């Protein structure tokens, strides 16, 4: 139980605190404003809502008989559509922000801010908050039994089963979330290249990278990939993304300029710093 508790706490720190810590570092060391990071958060929320509408619309077509699919095929198509449109819309939202927001987002530092905001929102909403809710429920029902709880039998059984989860499962999820955050930063930097190099092929590269990473994770999960392989795959993919950032010279920024220098040209009344 101790190992499981520890690993869940680590997972909560990674999924909830790491994005905030990364934002603080960007703000203090690179001068990235919180407003830019919030643009990334807003981009994620927009993409999630649009993707949900598309997946729901497709499901309604199947339910109405317009498209005939088995339950298994429907699930596969839902995953495929989700991955495909999440990547496409994610790239388009980043591009639109850099293109139309009347603020200089076409910098390496801003790209990191957008990526951390986007990936951080995904980490918090997709994993962090649900895990926190589950963890609280587990703590409130640590020693439940058929004679000691007013919960329904199936709910009590589910909670008891949660305490039997191997300790390395939350750790595997933590590593996957770190890899996903790095991936979102890499995708954003690739979108930036379309402006720097004036070549839209970089948008295709950004789209392809996200489809590849999420497709591999989702596909291998469906075939019952062991958690050890999930950890290994996440590390390999994260290493690949870090190599892409290195090749794009995305680590060549000035970490000494700080937020004060970055905000020197901002209007005094701007609220977010």
183, 237 Cβ separation under 8 angstroms:
yes
Query: pLDDT band at 263, cuts 50/70/90?
Result: very low
Q: Which two tokens stand for residue 188?
A: 């954003």
Please tell me whether residue 90 adopts helix, strand or coil conformation.
Answer: helix
pLDDT (tens digit per residue) in 115-174: 999 999 999 999 999 999 999 988 888 776 655 566 677 777 888 888 899 999 999 999
Helices (H), the chain: 2-12, 18-25, 34-63, 71-100, 108-122, 129-140, 153-162, 168-196, 201-222, 227-247, 258-262
For residue 272, tell me if it sits in a domain. no
For residue 259, tell me if it sits in a domain. no
pLDDT (tens digit per residue) in 62-89: 988 888 888 888 888 999 999 999 999 9
For residue 86, tell me if it sits in a domain. yes
For residue 33, tell me if it sits in a domain. yes
For residue 96, tell me if it sits in a domain. yes
Please tell me whether residue 101 adopts helix, strand or coil conformation.
Answer: coil
For residue 206, tell me if it sits in a domain. yes
Burial class (CB in 10 A: 0-12, 13-18, 19+), 35: middle
For residue 269, tell me if it sits in a domain. no
pLDDT (tens digit per residue) in 21-65: 999 999 999 999 999 999 999 999 999 999 999 999 999 999 888
DSSP letter at 63?
Answer: H
Q: How far apart are CA 67 and CA 59, in angstroms?
A: 9
The range of the structural domain enclosing residue 235 comes to 2-252
For residue 222, tell me if it sits in a domain. yes
Please tell me whether residue 130 adopts helix, strand or coil conformation.
Answer: helix
Burial class (CB in 10 A: 0-12, 13-18, 19+), 152: exposed
Q: How far apart are CA 211 and CA 205, in angstroms?
A: 10
Domain count, the chain: 1
pTM: 0.89
Question: Which residue, among 167, 177, 145, has the nearest Cα to 19 in the 3D structure?
Answer: 177
As a three-state string, the secondary structure of 107-153 is CHHHHHHHHHHHHHHHHHHHHHHHHHHHHHHHHHCCCCCCCCCCCCH
């Amino acid at each position: 139980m101790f190992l499981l508790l520890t690993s869940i706490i680590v997972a909560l720190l990674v999924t909830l605190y790491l994005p905030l810590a990364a934002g603080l570092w960007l703000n203090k060391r690179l001068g990235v404003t919180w407003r830019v990071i919030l643009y990334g958060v807003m981009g994620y929320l927009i993409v999630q809502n649009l993707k949900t509408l598309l997946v729901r619309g497709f499901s309604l077509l199947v339910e109405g008989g317009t498209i005939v699919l088995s339950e298994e095929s429907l699930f596969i198509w839902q995953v495929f559509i989700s991955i495909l449109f999440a990547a496409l819309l994610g790239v388009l939202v980043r591009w639109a922000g850099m293109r139309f927001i009347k603020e200089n987002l076409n910098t390496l530092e801003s790209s990191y801010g957008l990526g951390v905001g986007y990936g951080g929102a995904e980490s918090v909403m997709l994993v962090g908050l649900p895990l926190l809710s589950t963890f609280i429920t587990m703590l409130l029902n640590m020693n439940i039994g058929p004679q000691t709880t007013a919960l329904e039998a199936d709910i009590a059984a589910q909670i008891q089963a949660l305490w039997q989860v191997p300790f390395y499962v939350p750790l595997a999820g933590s590593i996957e979330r770190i890899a996903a955050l790095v991936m979102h930063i890499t995708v954003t930097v690739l979108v930036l290249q379309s402006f720097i190099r004036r070549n839209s092929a970089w948008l295709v590269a950004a789209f392809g990278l996200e489809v590849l990473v999420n497709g591999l994770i989702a596909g291998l999960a469906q075939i019952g990939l062991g958690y050890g392989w999930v950890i290994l795959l996440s590390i390999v993919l994260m290493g690949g993304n870090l190599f892409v950032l290195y090749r794009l010279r995305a680590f060549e920024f000035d970490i000494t300029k700080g937020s004060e220098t970055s905000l020197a040209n901002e209007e005094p009344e701007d609220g977010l710093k």
